[in-house]
Amino acid sequence: MKTSFNTLGTAVMIAAACIVPLASHAQERVAEIKMFAPEGGHRVGVGGFGWFVDLEIDFDVPLERTGFTGFQLTGPGAHNNVVPFPGTFSPGRDDRMPGLIVLVSTATIGAQSCQNVANLFNLTGVTNREATKTELWDTWIVGAPVFGVNTPSAVYAAIAADKDLDGVFNDAPNVVPDADGNGICDERDLKAFGVASNIRKASFFINP
């Protein structure tokens, strides 16, 4: 019996040793997000639009691992996916920065607060590139009152974890799963999905 116990204990320890690196990799933090707009407590826009989400994202990985696929200068209508810096414009995962998740608590489009709206960002570029780190800038001007009018709101931004473990941070979902089933997506649901950065939040008011 003693021999069997030792054998079982050794097997358990080996299994645990195999599991730890995978869990550690899944929680790897490789990016820091700074949000310059909206600022907490500010009253933004006019009539529900004309306000900004402005992000700086600092990665501790080379450009090739950030998921970045190209510059964009885009928007709705005639501005959608045109030269010189084409990019698609619609709710969902961004085609230019496919690891970015952005949620707005008062969204009335798609899956509402669980809808990733990163693909609505207008301007994406590389603001610093070195051998082992990258700084990207991503900016969005809200062009329609689809996030409420005369209402408090909140925006969340994060970089999705490397879900497929290919070393590239491009695994943001179109819609974040409502992990706790309360009908609202926020920091808890982002953490449950898995992130590779801090979760930046700003609470603000959308003007009438």
Hey, what CATH topology would domain 29-206 get? Immunoglobulin-like (2.60.40)
157 and 202 in contact (C-beta within 8 Å)? no
* Residues 197, 61 contacting (CB under 8 angstroms): no
| pLDDT score at 87 | 76
Structure token pair of residue 24: 């550690």
- Please report where in the chains the tokens 């639009």 appear, as a residue: 49
Nearest to residue 125, comparing CAs of 63, 60, 39? 63
* Token reading at 204: 């603000």
With 80 as the cut, is the pLDDT of residue 8 above it? Answer: no
Question: Does residue 1 carry a pLDDT above 70?
Answer: no
State the pTM of this model.
Answer: 0.84
Which DSSP category does 65 fall into? H
Decide if 204 contacts 44 (C-beta within 8 A).
yes
The tens digit of pLDDT for each residue in 126-181 reads: 999 999 999 999 999 999 999 999 999 999 999 999 999 999 999 999 999 999 99
